[in-house]
Amino acid sequence: MLLGGNEWKQASDEADAWWLARASRAGVTVITSAAQDIPDTQVRWAAEHFRSLGATVEGCQIQTRRDAADPRLLAQLAESAAIYLCGGDPGSAQHALRDTPAASALLARYREGVPIAGSSAGAMVLGGVCLVPGQGFATRPGLGFFSAAVIPHWRGANRRWRETAQRLAQAGEVIAIDESTGACWDGVSWVTRGPGRALVVTPRGERPVGEDGPSPPVE
């Protein structure tokens, strides 16, 4: 699931409940790579939010590339029932996770059927292309769970963000998602859950996710 931001809020309940229902048990592991400044706070917020959905939360604080090779944290991922990458700075998440044992572990867990989610920066880093606004809207390789680039917070996106989405759409797929809304892969097709829209941005305009795209995640 790719959430367009505003995680840990009641408005995200529909999307989060849909995602959590796919886990083998009601336990969520939160990877805090995008939250370099407040990892403990992110975990606390997540615990408060998911408690209302009947789930427990534990933090997996992968803040550096060294953390991403830590056997203790890798073992934690190996035992996780559901894994959520929080929001924050996509550049930090990309640097900490790309081409690391933790990234390989995430992909392995996904292929084993463990539901993976990311919100805002966490969703951005899961794509084949990761946009890094803090570095002049540059692009970096993402974790490659799917080929598209993700643009979160779409409903309130300003001109720079929208121009960037159009630029990226010239070269590949772009998914734009409103806050508290999930673009969700159900194993067959993409569906939208939540109060807003999830869209595919193309050079010719926008269309809802699920109508002929985007491409499916990796198998």
The answer to whether residue 36 is domain-embedded is: yes
Q: Among residues 103, 75, 87, 96, which one has the least CA distance to residue 3?
A: 87
- Three-state SS at 32: coil
pLDDT tens digits for range 115-124: 999 999 999 9
Q: How far apart are CA 51 and CA 196, in angstroms?
A: 23
Find tokens 């989405």 and name the residue.
Answer: 165
pLDDT bracket for residue 213 (50, 70, 90): confident
The answer to whether residue 183 is domain-embedded is: yes
The answer to whether residue 218 is domain-embedded is: no
pTM of the model: 0.97
In this prediction, residues 184-207 reach a mean pLDDT of: 96
The answer to whether residue 148 is domain-embedded is: yes
CATH number of the structural domain spanning residue 106? 3.40.50.880
The answer to whether residue 182 is domain-embedded is: yes
In this prediction, residues 79-93 reach a mean pLDDT of: 98
pLDDT tens digits for range 1-50: 999 999 999 999 999 999 999 999 999 999 999 999 999 999 999 999 99
The answer to whether residue 217 is domain-embedded is: no
pLDDT value at 211 more than 80: no
pLDDT tens digits for range 154-176: 999 999 999 999 999 999 999 99
pLDDT of residue 205: 93
Count CB neighbours of 77 within 10 A.
Answer: 21
Q: How far apart are CA 124 and CA 21, in angstroms?
A: 23
- Domain residues for 21? 2-208
Domain count for the chain: 1
Structural contact between residues 84 and 117, judged by C-beta atoms closer than 8 angstroms: yes
The answer to whether residue 216 is domain-embedded is: no
Give the strand pairing for 127-132 and 116-119: unpaired
pLDDT tens digits for range 123-137: 999 999 999 999 999
The answer to whether residue 215 is domain-embedded is: no
